[in-house]
Amino acid sequence: MEAEASMTYSFNNIPGESCPPRVSVILPVFSVEPYIGKCIESLQAQRMDELEFIFVDDCGTDGSMEAVEAWAARDNRVSILRNECNIGAGSSRNRGIAAAIGDYLSFRDPDDYVSPNYYAALYAAAMAGGGHDIAKGRRLKVDESGEAAGDQGQDLNERIRAELERGKPLFRSFTYENQSAIYRRVLLEDGCARYGSSRNAEDTTFLLRCCRQTDDIVLEEAAIYFYVQRKGSVVHGNYLERTNGEIDALHEKVDFLIKEGIDTAALQYLLAKHRPALRDSRSPSTRDSCRRTATFLSPSASQRSSRVSLVRWRPVKEDRSCRSSSTAAQPRPLVCALWESELYRYRGRCHLLLRHASC
């Protein structure tokens, strides 16, 4: 085991000299006092010394930061940024990105923990073969006692591997588990790859912005990120709040794709992925995102023979007359195909209708 550790986790350190950080670990902290201790212990146990830890105090209401301050007092690799008010995890991570100096950046949640070899294994994988833009480990869902959760869901690493082998771009498969990877800092230096400002799903905005720049990823199964399933977290909070947060994130992603001039296939995939949230959300951003997307995909004014129009929220009635044979026979714009039908329910009371409208 010692020989393996020396071979795998030595990065040409010079004894007696401090080295600049290879990986910057960024953690927003907000009211996670029962969990922050285990998180810190897992960081202290890392088999790699060339790390910096940037904690962003997001104005929590408990004693979470006391453990962080105690560690910072005895370890110069730890720094603390303090927000003037609560700004959310995404914006807090963005502050950490601006302060980080490591070659690679990692984003952690303060109620999760990692295996002792986590950063050493990811950094070694990232540097192999001349260096990769992203190195991703494996995420394991656990309960608050540390036992593996019953439903682990889809193996994202297998999905990423399969999609890349099929020639699909990375942004189509790497859409979550942002915490289980390290990212080359140069991908984030121009300010483009930042977390979204929404209170939920802000990580999906970051992954889209980041993975649109590269398909260069290496998967390292030995690095394990333990994802704690706890009640009261943002991910497991109020359903409506989560759905509205996802729509706010979608709004930012649509803006990004439109500004980038991305092909319509990318936009089509993105909106199709968010169909359940579009159906269930009460957020004003829902209509705005759809309207902006329809404008982007519609023909120019000089070419309009038909266009996509947004019919606003209406009381639900089982009226399928809009789905006439004449309408179905026309070639449908891409945005209509996103929902596979023109009629979608809205929380049992309203629905969003995308349809053709003749000029």
Last residue of a domain, one of 228, 259, 293: 228
Last residue of a domain, one of 228, 260, 292: 228
- Helical H runs in the chain? 2-9, 33-44, 64-72, 89-99, 118-127, 156-165, 202-211, 239-260, 264-273, 275-280, 284-297, 325-329, 334-337
Same domain, yes or no: 189 and 110: yes
Same domain, yes or no: 141 and 175: yes
Same domain, yes or no: 160 and 13: yes
Q: Would you say residue 213 lies in a domain?
A: yes
The CA-atom distances, in angstroms, between 329 and each of 15, 92, 100, 294, 340 are: 74, 50, 55, 20, 14
Instruction: Indicate the number of domains in the chain.
Output: 2
The pLDDT score that the predictor gives to residue 355 is 32
Domain that holds residue 33: 2-228
Q: Would you say residue 24 lies in a domain?
A: yes
- Helical H runs in 108-198? 118-127, 156-165
Going by C-alpha positions, the residue among 81, 86, 87 that lies closest to residue 69 is: 81
The pLDDT score that the predictor gives to residue 311 is 30
The pLDDT score that the predictor gives to residue 123 is 98
The helix (run of H) or strand (run of E) holding residue 330 is: none
Q: 353, 343 in Cβ contact below 8 A?
A: yes
We report the CATH number of the domain holding residue 221 as 3.90.550.10
Same domain, yes or no: 67 and 209: yes
Q: Would you say residue 190 lies in a domain?
A: yes
b/e string for 200-224 if b means 16 or more Cβ within 10 A?
bbbbbbbbbbbbbbbbebbbbeebb
Same domain, yes or no: 308 and 345: yes
Same domain, yes or no: 322 and 269: yes
The CA-atom distances, in angstroms, between 352 and each of 7, 123, 348 are: 58, 46, 12
The pLDDT score that the predictor gives to residue 260 is 75
Q: Would you say residue 233 lies in a domain?
A: no
Same domain, yes or no: 352 and 204: no
Q: Would you say residue 224 lies in a domain?
A: yes
Same domain, yes or no: 206 and 252: no
The pLDDT score that the predictor gives to residue 320 is 39
Q: Would you say residue 12 lies in a domain?
A: yes
**Long-range CB contacts (within 8 A, 24+) of 338-342:** 338/268, 338/271, 338/272, 338/275, 339/272, 339/275, 339/278
pTM for this one? 0.74
Q: What are 219's strand-pairing partners?
A: 136
The pLDDT score that the predictor gives to residue 309 is 33
Collapsing DSSP to helix, strand or coil, 185 comes out as helix
Rounded Cα distance between 58 and 28, Å, is 7
Q: Would you say residue 315 lies in a domain?
A: yes
The count of other CB atoms within 10 Å of the CB of residue 82 is 11
Same domain, yes or no: 168 and 314: no
Same domain, yes or no: 256 and 156: no
CA torsion, ordered 238, 240, 243, 248, to nearest 10 deg? -100
Instruction: Provide the pairing of β-strand 217-228 with 113-114.
Output: antiparallel
Q: Would you say residue 234 lies in a domain?
A: no
Same domain, yes or no: 204 and 326: no
- The amino acid present at 174, given as its one-letter code, is F
The pLDDT score that the predictor gives to residue 342 is 26
The pLDDT score that the predictor gives to residue 284 is 58
The pLDDT score that the predictor gives to residue 152 is 81
The pLDDT score that the predictor gives to residue 63 is 93
Rounded Cα distance between 168 and 162, Å, is 9
The pLDDT score that the predictor gives to residue 285 is 55
Last residue of a domain, one of 206, 228, 250: 228
The count of other CB atoms within 10 Å of the CB of residue 264 is 14
The pLDDT score that the predictor gives to residue 251 is 75
Task: Flag residues of the chain having pLDDT under 70.
Answer: 1-18, 232-241, 243, 262-359
Same domain, yes or no: 121 and 205: yes
